[in-house]
């Protein structure tokens, strides 16, 4: 998800006050998951799934299954399989800028293909760790909020 051509544009639309993009919630959740913030990732996957993202529902399925929560996993698998179709802007609407620097994207792919847990470089993880936490949710713990400059900040990081 974070390597997708549309990731940066989706994340930018998540913080747009005029039209919040649930696909951006999916991308943001994946970034949080990579940095070890599993509970916060669940919150944002729920946000995306609730808005009709079948991919976010599938991420919830995988997460619940990994944790041995098979009833919850079955529910999210059903949502992923039969949820409403996602309305996606045409590919031409994306500006093709990548969310992460090339070296970070390459390292993530190498880690995934090697069977390792993916990690971001320390500088990128620092950007994520500096995000504002508005509240401490009873179910999900601390929930970071994406900043309007998050895409730019991730792209500037070496």
Is residue 113 helix, strand or coil?
Answer: helix
Radius of gyration of the chain (CA): 15
**Domain contains 43:** yes
Pairwise CA distance, residues 69 & 73, whole Å: 6
Its pTM stands at 0.83
Dmax (CA) of the chain: 42
Query: Total domain count for the chain?
Result: 1
**Domain contains 29:** yes
Domain assignment of residue 99, given as a range: 7-156
Residue with tokens 């993202």: 53
**Domain contains 71:** yes
Contact by Cβ (8 Å): 110, 10: no
What are 13-56's pLDDT values in tens digits? 888 766 667 889 999 999 999 999 999 999 999 999 988 889 99
Interval 126-155 mean pLDDT: 87
pLDDT, residue 97, reads 74
Residue 132 has pLDDT above 50, yes or no: yes
**Domain contains 42:** yes
**Domain contains 1:** no
pLDDT, residue 67, reads 92
pLDDT, residue 3, reads 84
What are 68-127's pLDDT values in tens digits? 999 999 999 999 997 555 444 433 344 567 888 888 888 998 998 898 988 999 999 999
């Amino acid at each position: 998800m974070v390597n997708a051509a549309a990731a940066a544009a989706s994340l930018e639309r998540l913080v747009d006050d005029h039209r919040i993009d649930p696909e951006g919630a999916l991308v943001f959740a994946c970034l949080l998951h990579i940095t070890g913030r599993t509970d916060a990732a669940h919150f944002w996957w729920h946000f995306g799934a609730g808005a009709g993202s079948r991919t976010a529902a599938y991420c919830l399925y995988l997460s619940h299954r990994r944790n041995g929560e098979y009833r919850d996993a079955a529910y999210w698998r059903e949502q992923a399989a039969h949820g409403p179709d996602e309305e996606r802007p045409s590919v031409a609407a994306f500006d093709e800028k990548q969310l992460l620097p090339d070296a970070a994207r390459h390292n993530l792919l190498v880690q995934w293909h090697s069977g390792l847990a993916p990690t971001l470089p320390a500088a990128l993880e620092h950007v994520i760790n500096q995000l504002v936490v508005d509240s401490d949710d009873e179910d999900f713990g601390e929930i970071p909020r994406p900043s309007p400059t998050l895409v730019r900040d991730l792209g500037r990081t070496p």
